[in-house]
Amino acid sequence: MKRITLILGAALLFAGFAQAAEKPLIRIGARVFTEQTILAEITAQYLESKGYKTRITAGLGSNLARQAQETGQLDLMWEYTGVSLVAYNHVDERMTDPAATYALVKKLDSEKDLIWLAPSRFSNTYALGLPRKVAEAYPQIDTISQLSQALRDEKDRKHLVALDTEFANRPDGLVGLKETYDLQVGRENIRQMNSGLVYTALRNNQAFCGLVYTTDGRLDAFGIKLLEDDKHYFPDYTAAPVIRKQLLDASPELAGLLKPLAEALDGDTMRHLSAQADVEHRSPRLVAAEFLREHPISEVQP
């Protein structure tokens, strides 16, 4: 009887090990800005706590990241609905409803075997921002239309506009923005740079305005004034984890694991997390670990 018990115990133990070993390595991608790095770290550490192995590849451009996921080199990315809509799926129709945008990109990307899971509660859309001194000198500028008028009125002054290089060259970027708002800016007005340097230029009053992200923690810290997108040029950019169908079919529990994680992330949370990294200069890995300690997440069924 003891021998049978030992055999059964060993078999159950071996089965447990085998089940644990079946959990796949999840290759997580992150684009080249702080929020993406933090999201990748949070996701990796959370999944590792559930027994998965993960590997992060960070610092990727949008097109490279998308290509890597479509070709099976990456398994999981935090993506934004507006990016998929315009940059990847080339939808020209102007869409302002977040739910409709999410539903459309979910459908379109599923045809490429990329599955959108439950979305977060934040949208990290683009915005144009004024540094504190410019905002004080031009109190009449509250919208992008008013900015455009000011640039036309003072075109001889050649006010500088700071943009990250990717936005300056994307289909949902500078070209469309100029057309929508009749922005009179040419090469002599544009300064392309790393997205992080845009905030530095605004803080140091080295640009008249700059392209920023609405969930960036440096907005409040640097006193940057956001301008209203009064013609609704920028689509909704709700963030959600996007996973390869092959991985989800093999591990369907991932949908239930990642749903409460996504729902724990809202705009205020992301600004706070980003500020810890960009303003307080804390490691994104430590920022992620602290977030998970302070926000225990219970998985749900998919």
Which of 270, 284, 272, 248 has the alpha carbon at shortest distance from 118?
Answer: 248
pLDDT classification of 146: cutoffs 50, 70, 90? very high
Calpha distance 189→178 (Å, rounded): 13
Give how far Cα 11 sits from Cα of 4, 6, 7, 8, 24, Å.
10, 8, 6, 5, 22
Q: What is the pLDDT of residues 16-59, one digit of tens each?
A: 444 445 788 999 999 988 999 999 999 999 999 999 999 999 99
Give the whole-angstrom CA distance, residue 287 versus residue 301. Answer: 27
- Cα–Cα distance measured from residue 44 to residue 55, given in angstroms and rounded to the nearest whole number: 7
Name which residue leads in pLDDT, 87 or 139: 139
The whole-chain average pLDDT of the chain stands at 90
Q: At 235, give phi and psi (nearest 5°).
A: -70, 175
Partners of residue 228 on adjacent β-strands:
143
Give me the residue label for tokens 């949902």. Answer: 172
Tell me what pLDDT residue 17 has: 44
Q: Which tokens belong to 77?
A: 């990315």
Are 2-124+237-294 and 126-226 the same fold in CATH? yes
Contact 163, 212 (CB under 8 A): no
What's the mean pLDDT in 159-177? 86
Question: Over 50: is that where the pLDDT of 10 sits?
Answer: no
pLDDT tens digits, 212-223: 999 999 999 999
**What contacts 30, CB < 8 A, 6 or more positions away?**
36, 37, 39, 40, 56, 57, 58, 59, 60, 65, 77, 78
53-60 vs 239-244, strand pairing mode: unpaired
263 vs 171, which has greater pLDDT? 263
How is residue 296 annotated by DSSP?
-
pLDDT at 6 exceeding the cut of 80: no
Rounded distance, CA 185 to CA 160, Å? 9
Is residue 12 scored above 50 in pLDDT? no
State the pTM of this model.
0.81
291 pLDDT more than 90: yes
pLDDT confidence of residue 65: 95
Phi, psi (degrees; rounded to nearest 5) at 222: -100, 0
2-124+237-294 maps to which CATH number? 3.40.190.10
Architecture in CATH of 126-226: 3-Layer(aba) Sandwich (3.40)
Query: Are residues 44 and 56 in contact, defined by beta-carbon separation less than 8 angstroms?
Result: yes
Q: How high is the pLDDT of residue 282?
A: 97
**Domains in the chain: boundaries:** 2-124+237-294, 126-226
234-263 average pLDDT score: 96
At residue 42, φ and ψ (nearest 5 deg) are -60, -45
Note the pLDDT tens digit of each residue in 172-213.
Answer: 689 889 999 999 888 889 999 988 899 999 999 999 999 999
What is the Cα Rg of the chain in Å? 22
CA–CA gap between residue 258 and residue 298 (Å, rounded): 10
In the prediction, which pLDDT does 226 show? Answer: 96
